Chains A and B, each alone.
Chain A
Amino acid sequence: MSAPTISLEGLTSATGFDELLATARSGGCASSTCGVAGKPEDMDPAVWDKIKDHPCFSEEAHHFFARMHVAVAPACNVQCNYCNRKYDCANESRPGVVSEKLTPDQALRKVIAVANEVPQLSVLGIAGPGDACYDWKKTRATFESVAREIPDIKLCVSTNGLALPDHVAELADMNVDHVTITINMVDPEVGAKIYPWIFYDHRRYGGIEAARILHERQMLGLEMLTARGILTKINSVMIPGVNDEHLIDVNKLVKERGAFLHNVMPLISDPAHGTHYGLTGQRGPNATELKALQDRLDGGAKLMRHCRQCRADAVGLLGGDRGQEFTLDRIAGKDTYDSSKREAYRQVVAHERRDHVAARSAAIGMVKAAGSGKSLLVAVATKGGGRVNEHFGHAREFQLFEASPKGIRIVGHRKVEQYCVGGWGEKATLDGVIAALEGIDIVLCAKIGNCPKDQLAEAGIRATDAYGHDYIETAISAVYATAFAIGPLAATA
């Protein structure tokens, strides 16, 4: 059985790919923006160069590029209350699902297999279970062998930060230019409620002392990374009643120390996962609480809104995990790296992106200029490429955009159970989808049948496929214009 495709339709489908490639090649780079496609006006070109192909560090890139994680570093030196290591690490992967642990050699094989099959692949990350910096030998062995085979792949690690200062120099030597540190507190009193113990310098520490050491090491690691120009993303797990308010201080402090992005993720806690929080009934935040906190943090360190809390063995675009297609037993043993697909794809993207950027800034400009003072929450079904190009019934998640006087920006995503399987829509599933879309003003998709459309309407949610295959922002600006009776985009262009 082939897993549902998440390829960029039209970009990578057999004919579309060749066509687009032809366009991209004949495109001619007369424009002065060639080569810096997509760079926001206020961004340093050197920084842009580092993030432009990184789906997690750049919102814009996440439409085009894919990441993969390999779980090669299972040992850890910190115990978090939201993690049960008998199962998996909840830091960077959804708990309760055991990831495939790999040796560095197996990881290399897997990366090559994926690079040959998934042209969007641009980033290899090591992110739990375990800690990439603590289980350092395996991390290093993996990076070294992958970089030898596929020199242009970007390497990144996620870490709790405790062992990070010991390896910053080596990370820099290996050209790792993206690091994620999970920082849940800057006050050891708060930390003591999150971390029962750490293992540091040959002994186990608990309580405030443990949290203080962890905090100091995290700050030191962040400063060292900043000093070397390595981009650092901070992940924080939002734990209601424990660190929710406190994350405002975290945001401020990490920004001062040069963090590039701040990503606030909801605590996932379920008694079945056997974590301390799960067992003690600590709840996670709901979508509204999460968004409210993220909105309050706006203006501090730049917030990441498109994180998917990926599994530690995730493969593919952020919106769709293809990890199950690439388990060890499914990949051939002797694959050698073939760069042709990835190279061809990059050309297509370079072209498509310039287009997208222009369309996007026109659309955002229009919404800003409209001066309506109103905002609209839009759910978009997309397979990537920055377009409204997924059928309503095929979507396994909707990306959430907000159109407001501030422009158009991604504010999150809602996961749903795929409603239409093999051409049949299940009523019960549709109810679930409708519940997940609570609070949304309008749903944009490539196609939707009358029946689900009517039922959505009954629940007060409009849905339309009128903008199928348009760029997301273009479609949203058109919807915004209609909703608030503003002149359409064409009039200003």
Chain B
Amino acid sequence: MSSVHLQTLRDLLPPGRLSEDAASRAAFESDGLTAFRCRPLAVVIPQNETEVVQTVRWCDQHAVPFVARGSGTSLSGGSMPVSDGIVISLNRLRQIIKVDPDNRIAVVQPGVINLQVSAAAARHGLYYAPDPSSQKICTIGGNIAFNSGGAHCLKYGMTSNHVIGIRAVTASGEIVSFGGESLESVGPDFTGLFCGSEGLFGVALEITLRLLPKPECFHTVLVGYRSLRAAGDAVSAVIDSGLLPGAMEIMEALAIEAAEAATQCGYPKGAAAVLIVELEGPREKIDAEKKQLESIIAATDAFETVVAADDHQRAGIWAGRKSAFSAVGKLSPDFLVQDGVVPRKRLGDALEAIEGFSKDSGLRVANVFHAGDGNLHPLILFDDSVDGELERAETLAGKILDLCVQMGGSITGEHGVGMEKREFLPKMYDEPTMELMHRLRAAFDPQTIANPGKMFPGAEAPALSSHGLHPLEKAGVISRE
């Protein structure tokens, strides 16, 4: 692909949309997985849907790979460019087309920021439930591509549970429309298939989201334990009681220490693990449930229990949790984070095994996880300037993913496979299933030009070249779940 050839794309688009200069391309060479960098051939920043479609059709016509992206917060390298391809940056397609309070839906463009949907719905007493911790900056288009999660997945599900309609352009340039404004549909759930397709099918142009009534009350409890096992037992006790908390999170000592240093969140001193449990709902129900929760926690081996007295204290508890990974990252020049899932009853075994892997490798691992749904987030600390540490960290990360598969879990709960875990996908799915996924991809993208090198193993990967916190994490704008 030459600049002369790119001129035909430039001619299609209004002036200023296509950039080939080094500075523009450098701005898009990485995403939230900073271990990978690759400079694209060019960047297109469309201002409207027509320009997106024109660009995709041009890519199809010339067999040029493209990577559509929003804010680039993917933690699995899911929006990494390819060197001979185009980046289509969708941040300017940021219109909230409508909010319909009677039917509790919002129709948005892909570049709309996650949190802005809830902001727009708030005056109707509604909100958009999926809450990845980068929700201040991540876009709905990216959330759909990677079926993003968050702290409230056990009760509310992932992004795909809140997407009811998608209009998109496939990689072969076809405009497709799936679902609609009703919560229900007739025929195969194509909308559900498109969610989580990691950009391999095409580009979402307009998305219809389901909104929920804002919970009236929150009851947030922070509990300190002398051992991780005791915290895990408490989670089991809550689950067995029949309560359905909105969130249940555990952080262990290293993460607590770092979060405390970063946010002075007031977590129990000397705790080997803290558990956050949050109930939410109408006040009549919460009044009843909080008494039940209190008696459950009292029967565990807790040494300190803090109940958030108001919104400010609740925000403080969550600030510690949400800052945990970027805070831990500051203890080390480089880190890797995984998001494998294990059956909840195997959490203790999994954490014990990870501790063993950590000792064997000589690398520290901090654990923060969504305890309610078995979603681990081990943070592997290393220093890339030390010979061999990166390789040891990657080996350790691979062992954790293998462990998740062996325990009957998943290699990813919410970050997606992306570039980072693509070699592990065949460990979850057998050959006929992998072949079927390839056929489905080909239905949308026969030339494999949409986000190539992601999800499926075997594609050429850009070289590892850089590590450390994402610039936005350093600035405290985003954090890792």
Task: Say if A and B assemble together.
Answer: no
Q: Which residues of B contact A (CB under 8 A)?
A: none
Q: Which residues of A contact B (CB under 8 A)?
A: none
